[in-house]
Amino acid sequence: MSRIQACFEQLNTSGRKALIPYITAGDPNREVTVPVMHAMVEAGADIIELGVPFSDPMADGPVIQKACERALESGTSLRDVLAMVAEFRRRDDRTPVVLMGYLNPVEAMGYETFADACVSAGVDGVLLVDLPPEECEDIVPRFRQRGVDLIFLVAPTTTDERIRRIGEAASGYLYYVSLKGVTGAATLNVEEVASRVETIRNLAQLPIGVGFGIKDAASARAVSRVADGVVVGSALVNQIAANAQRTEAIAPAVAAVLADMRSAMDE
């Protein structure tokens, strides 16, 4: 059983929902990321999504685009991100870590090499934003054979047929994008999310994490009532950006936001 599957099963047994924070690796520098990862776990994170910085993050809004810019300026590469996970694993062999990014850096490294590196570093799952399920037939087995979950996005506009196809290719969980647009955008309609999540549940037998539009404890609590997991990114990356010049304040600031969300979700 994968760490991700075990995590969701344990949460389900205890009647709790997964809190899944996202940060961009190497933002604002490479030394900050691992301490922030540990701080997030201590604040109540169940799974960590670690963004691989990329020069053209087309699914992300300005907040995470700027985070990618800061990380790239600090020299962060895909191999650096894998090294960060390996360092994190020296203290934490329980919390699942998912790498979230785009195809180009992975293709440049090579799928086999990347999948092997994920196993060596202790990566549990990979979400490649621009990998469509229609084109992953040769890719999925390379990760599945190594016990690395391949996670896919589901959008409000995704057809039922495509959700079924995604459900067959994916493992770990599905990431439901609750808004039409980019990360950090617009306002959440929880009733619409609840309806869509129910549809997805009937088509794919995997836990569902909901992201985009989770800005505070109230929205995290609301979404946790209808989904298996709550993904929060821009609200945390904003804290990192605000403290980029005094990096010692980043981990406490991020942890404070997450702790409020965890408390609200557990009420």
- pLDDT tens per residue across span 129-158: 999 999 898 999 999 999 999 999 999 999
Let me know if 49 is a catalytic residue: yes
Residue written as token pair 């995604």: 166
| Percentage helix, strand, coil for the chain under 3-state DSSP, each rounded to 5 | 50, 15, 35
pLDDT at 229 over 60: yes
The pLDDT assigned to 186 comes to 57
Cα gap 58→54, rounded to integer Å: 9
Catalytic option among 49, 124, 149, 228: 49
Beta-strand relationship, 48-51 and 97-101: parallel
pLDDT range class, residue 188, cuts 50, 70, 90: confident
Which has the higher per-residue pLDDT, 180 or 28?
28
Biggest CA pair distance of the chain: 48
pLDDT at 178 over 90: no
Q: What are the sequence ranges of the domains in the chain?
A: 3-266
Query: What is the rounded average pLDDT for all residues in the chain?
Result: 94
The pLDDT assigned to 182 comes to 47
Helix, strand or coil, per DSSP, at residue 1: coil
Each residue of 91-106: pLDDT tens digit?
A: 999 999 999 999 999 9
The pLDDT assigned to 61 comes to 81
- Cα dihedral angle (114, 146, 153, 133), rounded to 10 degrees? 90
Each residue of 246-259: pLDDT tens digit?
A: 999 999 999 999 99
Catalytic option among 46, 60, 149, 228: 60
Strands (E), the chain: 18-24, 48-51, 97-101, 125-128, 149-154, 174-177, 208-211, 229-232
Each residue of 103-130: pLDDT tens digit?
A: 999 999 999 999 999 999 999 999 999 9
Each residue of 1-50: pLDDT tens digit?
A: 899 999 999 999 999 999 999 999 999 999 999 999 999 999 999 999 99
Cα gap 192→188, rounded to integer Å: 9
For range 152-174, the mean pLDDT:
96
The pLDDT assigned to 46 comes to 98
Each residue of 80-90: pLDDT tens digit?
A: 999 999 999 99
pLDDT range class, residue 207, cuts 50, 70, 90: very high
Please state which CATH number belongs to domain 3-266.
3.20.20.70
